[in-house]
Amino acid sequence: MRKSLLFCSILISAGIVFACNSGNTGKTASATIISQDSLVKRGDYLVSIIGCDDCHSPKRMGPMGPEVIPELRLSGFQATGSLPSTEGSAVKKGWILMGPGLTATVGPWGTTYASNITSDSTGIGGWKEEQFIKAIREGKSKGLDGTRPLLPPMPWQNFAKLSDHDIKAIFAFLKSTKSVKNVVPQSVFNRP
Ligand code: HEC
């Protein structure tokens, strides 16, 4: 009697272990698929709420102010764009000026054109994840060693505090965006 009870309990335990194992295997497989998908979704969410569009997306003037042009989203200052002259402007008195689409900024450091961060090769399409992390964490242009620092108003000092997971999520989302071909002019750094 005792022996058969022991045998029974061994069988039940084995059954539980088997059930747990097979359950786990299934869960791991689906969790991996969901996590890839959710990485992009999280990146989409972060890009939207942090406000990357404020500076990186060209805009047209609407009744309530600048509105993102959806087909040019995140493609930066347009290669075909131009800026009004700043000769004799308030910049000399210490003001910082932004172009009407908020994709160009003129200040005491020079003129900054917001980069194309779409998935196009003229954007971050050819970037490796390590480059993106370096650009965000260390403020290095193109995310490469030996390049100039990223200029204002790119607030990389704030974004440097994002978790690894969130930076990777943003990169995954940017890689998934509609590619927009646009070679942004070089920012002009007048070191004070
Ligand atoms: C307040 C304006 C502003 C906001 C908000 C902003 N950026 Fe930028 N960003 C810029 C400007 C301007 C540049 C170009 C800086 C330069 O040329 O030195 C830039 C450059 C970059 C670069 C480097 C591109 C390169 O070619 O080196 C990356 C990557 C980037 N931004 C990603 C982002 C992401 C992602 C967000 C949102 C999480 C964001 N930026 C929000 C203004 C902004």
Q: pLDDT higher for 161 or 190? A: 161
Residue 154 CB less than 6 A away from ligand 1: yes
Ligand 1 centroid to Cα of residue 114, in Å, is 6
User: Does ligand 1 have an atom closer than 6 angstroms to the CB of 73?
Assistant: no
Q: What is the model's pLDDT at position 33?
A: 61
Is 125 close to ligand 1, i.e. is its CB under 6 Å away? no
**Omega into 152 within 30° of 0, i.e. cis?**
no
* Whether the predicted pLDDT of 69 surpasses 80: yes
Q: How far is CA 191 from the centre of its chain?
A: 27
Distance, in Å, from the CA atom of 122 to the CA atom of 152, rounded to the nearest integer, reads: 21
Amino acid at 120: D
* 61 vs 85 pLDDT, higher one: 61
**CB atoms inside a 10 Å sphere around CB 189:** 14
Token reading at 143:
């995310």
Mean pLDDT, range 143-155, rounded to an integer: 96
What are the Cα distances from residue 122, in Å, to 61, 147, 190?
26, 17, 25
Distance 34 CA to ligand 1 centre (A): 29
pLDDT value of position 29: 53
The mean pLDDT value of the chain amounts to: 86
pLDDT value, residue 164: 96
* More confidently predicted of 112 and 29: 112
Q: What local confidence, expressed as pLDDT, does residue 31 receive? A: 56
* CB-ligand 1 contact for 159 (6 Å cutoff): yes
d(CA 36, CA 169): 9
7-31 tens-digit pLDDT:
445 444 444 443 444 444 444 555 5
162 lines ligand 1 (CB under 6 A): no
Q: With a 6 A CB cut-off, is 115 part of the ligand 1 pocket? A: yes
- Cα(154) to ligand 1 centroid in Å equals 5
Question: Which residue did the predictor score with more confidence, 20 or 141?
Answer: 141
How far does residue 151's CA lie from ligand 1's centre (Å)? 9
Residue 120: what pLDDT?
A: 98
Q: Residue written as tokens 């890839």?
A: 36
184 Cβ below 6 A of ligand 1: no
Whole-Å CA distances, 129 to 33, 92, 126, 167, 168 = 20, 39, 10, 9, 7
* Index of the ligand 1 atom closest to the CA of residue 51: 5
Highest mean pLDDT among 2-11, 27-36, 168-177: 168-177
Instruction: Give the model confidence (pLDDT) of 70-106 as tens digits.
Output: 999 999 999 999 998 887 778 888 899 999 899 999 9
